[in-house]
Chain A
Amino acid sequence: MNKYLFYPGCSMESSAKAYMESLNTILEPLELSFEEIEDWNCCGATEYLGINLIPAYSLIARNLALASNQMNPMNGTGATHTIVAPCSACYLNLAKADHYMQERPSLGAKVNQALEAGGLHYTPGTLDVRHLIDILVYDVGVEKIRSKVVHPLTGLHVAPYMGCMLPRPDYKHRWSDHEHPTELVDVLRALGADVIDYPLTTECCGGHMTQIGPETAFELIRRLVADADDRGADLMATVCPMCQMNIDAYQNEMNHFFGTDYHIPVLFFTQLMGLAFGREPEELGIGAELVSARNALAHIGVEVPVTQEPAGPRKKSEGLPMPRRLNKHEGKEVVK
């Protein structure tokens, strides 16, 4: 049983309840144990940072301080120093506070001055802040995920959508790439899904612009949905509550704005994992999405044989050979 400290974030209790419900179903089969941070507070999303710097970082750091107290083995909770966040914005804020408190010691000192007013302290670098999918790919492993699949998602064309705040800015160099990371693709492939080539995988969902500048946001949502539709996606898989909310809940308004008629459901990747692990849709919060996934999932309700032909061998092509793809985790190759 791998133990982790868990920071759910506000959305997991409300708009992203489906994420939480589906996450709960995959913990046990993957032998993961998440211990919620006692009395955690909101990370401030992207809003507080633009209002007032030290309070914004102090708000985030209270969570880090609480977590570092909780990780203390003297409290009898087991000694893990890894804190897992399922929301990309929360993950980034926690990671950012930890990183900048080190990079700029004067910031660290001021934040701790504020924390002391609440009897808390955080030494930057104490915790390892990681996102859920990082744990699943690099601790649990794609092979283990594959081994738990009882209902492969064969025939389901999924656009893998990583969003922006997960692979970037990547203070600790955790991800395979900042622009075209493979982690989500690998998980979805392990579930048997037909993962489409989705170059916009780390483009922005609009963030808070749905609230303050809807026209800007609608254009960003349109790009994502239109490209997914163009490339034949049945649905999009996401790793972040804000991405899900923006593309799902505002898709209708976006369609209205542009006079389009896109219908791309957005599910959390954990929901797809739950389905592949043999759970029922209702246990996974499926149905809570506003752009219904019912038709898309009908594809896997029946057994569909592999329809996509494997790519032909390269030597048959008349064209010029392609360079090999770079795998950053295999160490740097040298091109002479």
Chain B
Amino acid sequence: MPQMTDERVRAGLTREEDLSLLHEVSVKTAGVSHLEMCIQCGTCGGSCPAARDMDHTPRMLFAMLRAGMREEVLRSNTPWICVSCYHCVVRCPQEVHIADVMYTLKGMAIKANLFSDSTAPHFSQTFVDMVESYGRSFEFGLASRHYLRHFPLRLPGMMPMGIGMLTKGRMALTPKRIKKMDQLTAILNKAKTLELTS
């Protein structure tokens, strides 16, 4: 983030506009994001089933990206509330890859350590840890680790469900592991050294 000049700080401006932010997000997003094409029509904010729980609507987040408000954008809970339902994506008149931009913003927030609530990033990370260890998801391990850490108070209420899942054979107590775990690890290790830059 660019350094604030004393003069601007004295003038009461707390933030330096970072006009490269929009481009950076666009480049880091899978596919061709069309992010710069946003016309601020609000189709995304209107479509979002979870908008009421977001601090900014997706449209507003895009305006903030344009305005270079890096920290405010990365601190927003909006990408973490996104449920990936793709309603906004198919309705967007400018074909912006909105859901994929949300994934990009999550990744950037994790890297910058700028999320305000750790529940979601930790859940994603726990899930990824399981997959990186076994090659498959492991619901029991994931659930027990995640709930103990983030929702200990939710556990009593969830007991019947958990027991139901176990007794009905819908949750295994031990993980399944793929055969060529070495191969997958090699692929992921290599992948972690790569980034989308153009």
Residues of chain A at the chain B interface (Cβ within 8 Å)? 10-11, 13-17, 39-42, 44-55, 57-59, 62, 96, 99-100, 103-104, 106-107, 110-111, 113-120, 164-165, 168-170, 178-179, 202-204, 206-209, 211-216, 220, 223, 249-250, 252-253, 256, 287-288, 290
Contacts and interface: CB of A to CB of B under 8 A. Distances in A.
7 contacts: A15-B171, A47-B123, A52-B107, A117-B191, A118-B186, A209-B81, A290-B161
A208 B123 contact: yes
A204 B103 CA distance: 17
Contacts of A287: 168
Interface of B: 28, 30-32, 49-50, 53, 79-81, 83-87, 89-90, 99-100, 102-104, 106-107, 110, 119-121, 123-125, 127-128, 131, 135-137, 139, 143, 146, 150-151, 154, 157-158, 160-161, 164-165, 168-172, 176, 178-180, 183-184, 186-192, 194-198
A101 to B, nearest CB: 9
B192 A169 contact: no
B30 A104 contact: yes
B78 to A, nearest CB: 12
Contacts of A215: 53
Contacts of A119: 183
A273 B195 CA distance: 45
Contacts of B150: 212
Nearest to B104: A53
A218 B2 CA distance: 42
Given A48-B128, A106-B196, A211-B146, A168 B137 contact: no
B52 to A, nearest CB: 8
Nearest to B185: A118
Contacts of A253: 157-158, 161
A220 B30 contact: no
Contacts of B50: 204, 209, 216, 220
B86 to A, nearest CB: 4
A267 to B, nearest CB: 14
